Amino acid sequence: MPKVSIIVPIYNVEKYLSKCIESLINQKLEDIQIILVNDGSKDSSGKIAKEYSQKYQEKIIYLEKENGGLSSARNYGIEYATGEYISFVDSDDCVDINLYKNLEKYMDESYDMIKIAIFKVDSDGNLINKNKTELFLEKSGQEAFNILYKSDVMLEPAWAYVYKREFWNNNKIKFSEGRCHENFRLIPKVLLKAKKVASTDIQGYYYVQSEKSITRNQNEEKKKQMSNDLIYFYDKIIDSAKYMKLEKKTLENLKIYYTNCLLLEINNIQNSKNRKEYIQELKNRKITKNIKVRNLKQLIKRIILTINIEWYLKIRKI
């Protein structure tokens, strides 16, 4: 059994794909399985991936499927994973060649989830910033969430962690297909199910900010769909949280986290009509009640949020 299966969804990334795959085949940990999932690419990505799979048959599995989106490709790749752990890498990103070797000691301790250090870089590999996160060992999923939700802006990406495959399969975890923001609903929920979590400073995942980044190059209709999907997942998680047997503090923090995510999405909506409609959807859900008042500053922010959401966003960072 490989130590880790690395699932790489591929769609029209011919410019970046070789660098991504090279960072995986050159891993210092040799006991790995690389699963390349061509999600109906229309450029030469499939050809590139297939050539690598033929050259490195002992490490790489190459899969092809009709285009179904990132979630569909991940779900498809998981079916072929045989590693003790699973990891996700987006095909326009790359990882440090020591990543999985350095994580091996944590995998040997049977953590359900292990968080890794994330570096935001440009398309030439120049560092933009390093994501800040709290470091800890042997926390429950609820303890981990209560630490990370307020200190880590990279809590929800699927590629921010490696997962014990037995834990993933036993909980019947799947990405939601056909919608955007698939990580938004799933990964915090997965974290809360974990019994043993570590947050490490192990380098690292290189999150490439390029012209292919999903948050760029989106027309207003696509942005509206993304915002609507965010609300859809918010409704789902708030409803399902009632059955998750969470501690009172964790439930409160979960609602705060998702509420803040919804509020921050407003900044991505430039069309005034779509923006007003989105804000009205938030008001309809009475999200103000999710902001718990634990000090004077929070009280002031909650009052402003009740009066005017746009004002709240302006003073939120104060």
Residues 205-220 have a mean pLDDT of 68
Could you give the CA distance from residue 12 to residue 268 in angstroms, rounded to a whole number? 24
Residues 156-162 have a mean pLDDT of 95
Residue 301 has pLDDT above 80, yes or no: no
Whole-number pLDDT of residue 202: 94
- 10 Å CB burial of residue 101 (0-12, 13-18, 19+) is middle
Whole-number pLDDT of residue 220: 76
Neighbours of 216 (CB within 10 A): 9
Helix (H, G, I), strand (E, B) or coil at 134: coil
Could you give the CA distance from residue 210 to residue 190 in angstroms, rounded to a whole number? 29
Whole-number pLDDT of residue 45: 97
Strands 4-10, 32-39: pairing kind = parallel
pLDDT tens for each residue of 270-285: 888 999 999 999 999 9
Q: How many CA atoms lie within 13 A of 213 on its CB side?
A: 11
Domain 4-209, CATH homologous superfamily name and number: Spore Coat Polysaccharide Biosynthesis Protein SpsA; Chain A (3.90.550.10)
Helix (H, G, I), strand (E, B) or coil at 33: strand
Strand partners, 5: 33, 86
Whole-number pLDDT of residue 216: 45
Structural contact between residues 285 and 232, judged by C-beta atoms closer than 8 angstroms: no
Whole-number pLDDT of residue 214: 43
Neighbours of 181 (CB within 10 A): 22
Whole-number pLDDT of residue 218: 59
Of the candidates 26, 34, 47, the one whose C-alpha atom is nearest the C-alpha of residue 97 is: 26
Angle between helices 248-265 and 141-148 (to 10 degrees): 40
Whole-number pLDDT of residue 318: 55
Strands 60-65, 113-115: pairing kind = unpaired
- Mean pLDDT over the full length of the chain: 91
Block residue for tokens 């959401």: 309
Per the model's pLDDT, the better-predicted residue between 260 and 144 turns out to be 144
Whole-number pLDDT of residue 127: 87
**pLDDT band with cut points at 50, 70 and 90 for residue 182:** confident
Which letter does DSSP use for residue 42 in this model?
S
Could you give the CA distance from residue 127 to residue 130 in angstroms, rounded to a whole number? 8
Please report, for the chain, how many H helices and E strands are present, in that order: 12, 12
Residues 45-65 have a mean pLDDT of 97
User: Lowest-confidence range among 103-112, 132-141, 262-271?
Assistant: 262-271
pTM over 0.75: yes
